[in-house]
Structure 1
Amino acid sequence: MTYHSAHMNILIKSCLTLGLLFAVMGGHAQVVKKSESDNAKKGNTQLSVRAQSLYDTQGASDADIPWMRVIYRQIDLTKEKNLPLYYPEESTESQENLFRIIMKLLANNQIPAYEYLDGREIFTDEYRIKVREMFDRFHILYAEAKGYSEKNPRFTIEESDIPANEILSYYILEKWIFDRRTSQMKPSIEALCPVLHRTGDFGGEPVKYPMFWVKYNDIRPYIARQYILASNENNIAQYNYDDYFKMRMYDGEIYKTQNLRNQSLMQMYPNDSIRKQAQDSIERQLKNFNENLWVPTPEELAKAKEAQEAKEAKDNGDEVTAKEEDKEVKSTSRSARAKRQKEAKVKKQKQPKQQKAASAPVRSVRRTR
């Protein structure tokens, strides 16, 4: 009797445990189902956690960065290499240019944007722009979406009201970082700033209006899904915007480096030729930074020595050849001069003697008988 009662108690406890487990699982299923329904109501405008995690990269800490240089570039969209950022001007079923993507993300409150402070960019909530004020400032027509609060606004912009054709350049903020962990120089794009080129009512040269800064890591998950035509020779859209920037397929001119006076290269070097030399010097420094870090191996030294000797031999050979050619030219000129002198002498010898001119009759002084 005792054995059967103990067995019944065990069965009752097992049933109670299973019931509690099913109840918890059912509640969890209801929560998941509710969250899925909430996402469906939102229209899936936000990226999923998994999609965001694909682009979350852990950067190097300050302890891992002993050297860094901040570079500002101007991307001219009229240049051949930069055309993928401008075209297509109007959206198609499969393609959309960079500025339209950014504007739609801002209108849907999916990414933040920050004030353009002319060389002193601060990406904090204090300097975050209000999208409504930005639209008003640049005279972009919009309509407020219904069902959203003042703290979390949404806006609707017509395709024709987005001034994509007036965005003719971008400012790019780059950081060239030496990472101690990998002992490599790593250039990274920190932020983008679309620049509006707008002509006044009376014509004249267009005026540049830097609009705002957007952090590259904020827009990267979205632009990585948009494939582009990178060239006119290959019409397969095999690269996306993230590939385009990461592979540095753009052509950007350095217009500023971070400095104590916060001056641009235009202010530091007013002369065009001197400014171009400064830009080339900065490019060489960035390019040769990795090479100057390492002590070459004996094999590399021997190879470099052979290349130097070959170059010197070639230069010496060119000098010897030049001397021989000069000697040959001189010899040829002497021969030609001697030949001309000889011909002139022969011609003079063959020339007939001139007859003396007839003189007046000579009177004889001899007596005649």
Structure 2
Amino acid sequence: MKIAVKGVIPVLCLFMAMPLLRAQNNNSSTVRTGVVGSTNNTSSSSISVRAKSLYEKEAISPADIPWMRVIYRSLDLKEEENMPLYYPEEPTENQENLFRLIMRLLTENKIVAYEYLDGREVFTDQYKMNLKDLLDKFHILYEEKEGRTSKSTRYIVNESDVPSNEVLSYYIREKWIFDQRNSGLTSVIEAICPILHRVGDFGGDAMTYPMFWIKYDDLRPYMAQQYILTNNENNVQNYTYDDYFKMRMFEGKIYKTTNLRNMSLMQLYDTAEKQDSARAGIEKQLQNFENSLWVKSPAPVEQASKDTDKKTTTASSGQNATEKEVKSSVRSSRGTTTSRSSVKSGSSKSVKSKSSRSSSSKSAPIRSVRRTR
């Protein structure tokens, strides 16, 4: 019996220790994965479900949106404010431009591209683009590899084959929404479209080709992990791509708004001056709508009344100053100020006063204080 007990005890101890060993192995693998991901931000773009949930927003009910306007903007990457989306042209250890990030996520099947329909964008499964068709359409070289199963296929695009130097502009589709839950006007970027600027075989001016739409909410978790350089004078990377768009650090020109005829500003107005005037009018309408949402608080009203009081006191002080100047100019030789009646009477009264003084001096006798013998 003793021998049997001795043989059973090690087996029981080993069986009880198995869950602890498994937990240690799982913890060690998690730590290794985290270390590898932190060393190279460009190669590791895996985001957990919990991290994605941090960037998910609750959809606003249509009943809470009594007013909305959809605006399309064009971002020219040659402008200084938009250059952070283009540089660096070649990926570095911990940084890559926006188009390379989009292409890498597409080839890894982490985001979905939707067809560009020129103002009739519908982000449903019906308009999802096949990755192979997308690469063939824009003549992007790729390598096709079979996956673990016969149905899955991987498309690998080398870094040198990504046409990031030809993507010189972007379209963004944004919604200006009045949310009556908080009585505020907010701008929400809904989708981003890279624009390919490509010269034909016979040269000439570059032609623009809108490629596809990417939903901003799908791209946002990955953009929030990519830090960028936004200032030439300060080389510290303080902002991410998500901060760049959320803080509206870009310079976007309105080229279209949703309208009944589905026409752009270039189609509606024949000259550049009229198009610029229409853009300024749209921006002013948005600003006026936001300003008209709130009733001015008493503080600005009181400040405005104080400003008017200051203006009136300044005007009255100016009048007093002119009167003082007039009075100071009519001072007598003894330093006393004459009255207004004396000023209006003129020099005739002064002559009379002098004559009266002279006559009074002649009539009065002059007596000597010296004794005469």
| Distance (whole Å) between structure 2 residues aligned to residue 144 and residue 273 of structure 1 | 50
The 3 A distance-change label for structure 1 pair 201 and 297 is same
1:112 equivalent to 2:117? Answer no
With normalisation by structure 2, the TM-score equals 0.71
| Distance (whole Å) between structure 2 residues aligned to residue 177 and residue 106 of structure 1 | 30
| Distance (whole Å) between structure 1 residues aligned to residue 312 and residue 122 of structure 2 | 53
Residue equivalent to 2:249: 249
Deviates more, 1:297-306 or 1:47-56: 297-306
Q: What amino acid is aligned across from residue 297 of structure 2 in structure 1?
A: T
| Distance (whole Å) between structure 2 residues aligned to residue 261 and residue 176 of structure 1 | 20
Residue equivalent to 2:269: 269
Task: Check whether the contact 2:140–2:161 (CA below 8 A) recurs between aligned residues.
Answer: yes
| Distance (whole Å) between structure 2 residues aligned to residue 148 and residue 88 of structure 1 | 35
| Distance (whole Å) between structure 2 residues aligned to residue 306 and residue 168 of structure 1 | 52
Structure 1 regions of 5+ residues with no counterpart?
1-21, 316-369
Residue equivalent to 2:172: 172
Residue equivalent to 2:202: 202
Offset at 1:295? Answer: 2.1
Residue equivalent to 1:233: 233
Offset at 1:290? Answer: 2.0
Task: Give the length in aligned residue pairs.
Answer: 288
Q: Alpha-carbon deviations, 1:63-96, whole Å to 9, x = none? A: 1111111000000000000000000000000110
Residue equivalent to 1:286: 286
Offset at 1:101? Answer: 0.4
The 3 A distance-change label for structure 1 pair 310 and 202 is farther
| Distance (whole Å) between structure 2 residues aligned to residue 217 and residue 165 of structure 1 | 25
The 3 A distance-change label for structure 1 pair 310 and 162 is farther
Offset at 1:302? Answer: 3.5
- What are the equivalent positions in structure 2 for 1:313-324 lying under 5 Å apart? none
SS at match of 2:292: helix
The 3 A distance-change label for structure 1 pair 260 and 311 is farther
Deviates more, 1:293-302 or 1:83-92: 293-302
| Distance (whole Å) between structure 1 residues aligned to residue 150 and residue 76 of structure 2 | 37
SS at match of 2:106: helix
Residue equivalent to 1:131: 131
Task: Check whether the contact 1:109–1:153 (CA below 8 A) recurs between aligned residues.
Answer: no
The 3 A distance-change label for structure 1 pair 311 and 170 is farther
Residue equivalent to 2:188: 188
Q: Alpha-carbon deviations, 1:128-176, whole Å to 9, x = none? A: 0001001001110001233255754321111000000000000000001
Offset at 1:61? Answer: 1.4
Query: RMSD value over aligned CA atoms?
Result: 3.0
Structure 2 regions of 5+ residues with no counterpart?
1-14, 34-42, 316-373
- What are the equivalent positions in structure 2 for 1:1-369 lying under 5 Å apart? 46-149=46-149, 152-307=152-307
Q: What amino acid is aligned across from residue 120 of structure 1 in structure 2?
A: R
Residue equivalent to 1:17: none
Q: What amino acid is aligned across from residue 295 of structure 1 in structure 2?
A: V
| Distance (whole Å) between structure 1 residues aligned to residue 305 and residue 251 of structure 2 | 35
SS at match of 1:126: helix
